[in-house]
Amino acid sequence: MRNTHLTQILLMVTIISVIAISGCTAQSEPNKRMFGDREFTFRANLTDAASVPIYPDETTLLQSLYNPDVAWIYIAYIPNDTDNGFYTVAGYELTYKLVYGYKSLFGYTPAVRAMPLNATPEQPGNDTLIIWMRAPSSGANETAVIVDGNIITVEGADMSEETRTYTDLDMAADRLLLSFLWPPRE
């Protein structure tokens, strides 16, 4: 009887340990996700990025991104010495994953170009999307993805990397990519 009880306890401890270890393993790379047969690494923790709000909503964002007329995507920013490096990193991540996603999802690749700005971008034609990256120095006051016609603003309120290895701009850019590459299922 005693051996049976000890065996049950050991079995329970083993099961709990396996569950705990597998939970830790599943969380050890919170910035990676498979898209088709390719593993993408993101700058931000994807759990954190998934909590970034999209205005007015994710459906509107996807309507803009999935528009079959889109031939051009401009990654726009207002240059300044403080944030140019952050814009470069987030812009590269957006460009690489958008191009791969468009090719995989729709069989074509829109041209993607950088667009330095002096002021707020004007609404482009139906064949063009502008993804405007904004840091606090260019007017960002929250971390969000904001859709206004064919202008998608990706903004981060906190550009520090003191407590983590990514900025709020990275989180907002990754939020856009999460919606684009893994849209919600209805």
- Does the pLDDT value for residue 16 go beyond 50? no
- Does the pLDDT value for residue 13 go beyond 50? no
Residue of 181, 131, 173, 179 whose CA lies nearest to 156: 173
H or E segment and range at residue 104: helix 84-106
Which stretches does DSSP call E strand in 11-138?
32-35, 38-41, 54-55, 72-77, 111-116, 128-134
Q: What is the pLDDT of residues 52-103, one digit of tens each?
A: 999 999 999 999 999 999 999 999 999 999 999 999 999 999 999 999 999 9
- Is residue 186, in this structure, part of any structural domain at all? no
What local confidence, expressed as pLDDT, does residue 19 receive? 44
37 and 129 belong to one structural domain = yes
**CA 143 to each of CA 34, 85, 169, 173: distance values in angstroms, whole numbers, following the listed order:** 25, 18, 7, 10
CATH number at residue 131: 3.40.50
Domain that holds residue 50: 33-181
- Is residue 94, in this structure, part of any structural domain at all? yes
* Confidence (pTM): 0.83
State the Cα–Cα distance between residues 177 and 93, nearest whole angstrom: 9
Q: How many domains does the chain have?
A: 2
95 and 160 belong to one structural domain = yes
- Is residue 130, in this structure, part of any structural domain at all? yes
Say how many Å lie between the first and final Cα of the chain, rounded.
53
Contacts of 160 (CB under 8 A, 6+ apart): 167
- Is residue 49, in this structure, part of any structural domain at all? yes
What local confidence, expressed as pLDDT, does residue 3 receive? 54
- Does the pLDDT value for residue 12 go beyond 80? no
74 and 123 belong to one structural domain = yes
What local confidence, expressed as pLDDT, does residue 185 receive? 82
60 and 107 belong to one structural domain = yes
Q: What is the pLDDT of residues 21-51, one digit of tens each?
A: 444 444 458 999 999 999 999 999 999 999 9
Q: What is the pLDDT of residues 143-167, one digit of tens each?
A: 999 999 999 999 999 999 888 999 9
Q: What is the pLDDT of residues 120-138, one digit of tens each?
A: 999 999 999 999 999 999 9
Both tokens of 26, joined, read: 């599943």
- How many other C-beta atoms can be found within 10 angstroms of the C-beta atom of residue 29? 12
26 and 104 belong to one structural domain = no
21 and 84 belong to one structural domain = no
State the Cα–Cα distance between residues 172 and 169, nearest whole angstrom: 5
- Does the pLDDT value for residue 20 go beyond 60? no
User: How does the average pLDDT of the chain come out, rounded?
Assistant: 88
HSE on the CB side for 99, CA within 13 Å?
A: 11
Both tokens of 116, joined, read: 């330095």
